[in-house]
Amino acid sequence: MKRILFLGDTHCGHISGLTPPAWRVSKERCEMIGQDWHSVQEKCWNTYLKYIEELKPIYGVCVGGDCGDGTQRKQNGLELITTDEAEQANMAIYAIKKTEAEHYACVYGTPYHVGPQYAIDAAVAKGLDAPIDNTMDVLVNGCRIRFRHKIGGSQTPVGGDPALRKKDINDLVWKEEHGLPKADLQAFFHVHRWRMIDMKIFSCPALQAWTSFGSRQCESIIHWGLFAVDIDDDGTPIKFHKKFMRLKEIKVNKDQIW
């Protein structure tokens, strides 16, 4: 049996992205801005390490892109710990290596977050000594796992179902029309939401918590955590592992008592 971990949307560099201790916002700064991001970063990091330990040994990691948050040009870097793309990549490399996996494979995220040249995700792949592509196929005991960063979604409670089903059907059409092999499992990231269709195609949780964009403009559910699958010796996916944290544990806005 080989355990494969799906890990993505760390958005390192963002104030609510996955933040190793060395980059954590100080308690003093949090007191000045009136929001306790220090505790959020600490809770997320410690929970991430806890989940990783519970999932070990991990044979391979599918890294789903958006490893850094980029320069956040639309918000002038308002929510960033650092705008340095190399530093954001180093944060992600440090975090991902905690898995101690034997194999890594990466895909590119969105140009807005990782740069028009996909510099952050490319640097992460280099730091992990891993291949990187737009869409990646990984064969594990004969099971073909296909993953890429982007999948469609919506703000409805069932958002993502049509997009996942469409992708599954299109995968079959590509096989029939062009002879490309159909995947046994398909994984996507981007929407920060876990959802699985027919036990074979799914969108993955993120490792970024609250954002001002999400708080102001979005209402759909998000999931924070990790997802893994065990592949049997004959290539059969035999067990799925969901490691999700309830976001009420890292709530930052305060109730106003009048």
Output the 3-class SS for 99-154: HCCCEEEEECCCHHHHCCCCHHHHHHHHHCCCCEECEEEEEECCEEEEEECCCCCC
Q: Residue type for 157, please?
A: P
Q: Consecutive sets of 10 residues in the chain, 258 residues long: mean pLDDT of each?
A: 97 94 90 84 96 98 95 80 93 98 97 84 97 97 96 73 90 94 95 91 92 59 93 96 89 80
Residue 224 near residue 244, CB atoms below 8 Å: yes
pLDDT at 254: 76
* Structural domain contains residue 78: yes
pLDDT at 215: 59
Q: Distance (Å, rounded) from C-alpha 153 to C-alpha 136?
A: 21
pLDDT at 41: 94
Q: Distance (Å, rounded) from C-alpha 205 to C-alpha 207?
A: 7
* Structural domain contains residue 258: no
Which candidate, 122, 128, 127, places its Cα nearest to that of 61?
128
pLDDT at 102: 98
pLDDT at 113: 82
* Structural domain contains residue 182: yes
pTM of the complete model:
0.92
Q: Distance (Å, rounded) from C-alpha 123 to C-alpha 107?
A: 12
Structure token digits, residue 127: 């730091």
pLDDT at 72: 81
Strands 201-203 and 195-197, sheet pairing: antiparallel
Residue 27 near residue 84, CB atoms below 8 Å: no
* Structural domain contains residue 223: yes
* Structural domain contains residue 254: no
pLDDT at 247: 84
pLDDT at 207: 96
In Å, how far are 77, 243, 251 from 258, measured between CA atoms? 34, 38, 20
Q: Residue type for 2, please?
A: K
CATH of the domain at 206: 3.60.21.10
Q: Could you count the other beta carbons within 10 Å of the beta carbon of residue 176? A: 9
pLDDT at 105: 98
Provide the domain count of the chain. Answer: 1
Q: Provide the residue range defining the domain that includes 26.
A: 2-249
Structure token digits, residue 216: 């102001």
Tell me the sheet residues that pair with 228. Answer: 5, 241
pLDDT at 160: 63
pLDDT at 89: 96
* Structural domain contains residue 26: yes
* Structural domain contains residue 25: yes
* Structural domain contains residue 130: yes
Residue 249 near residue 243, CB atoms below 8 Å: no
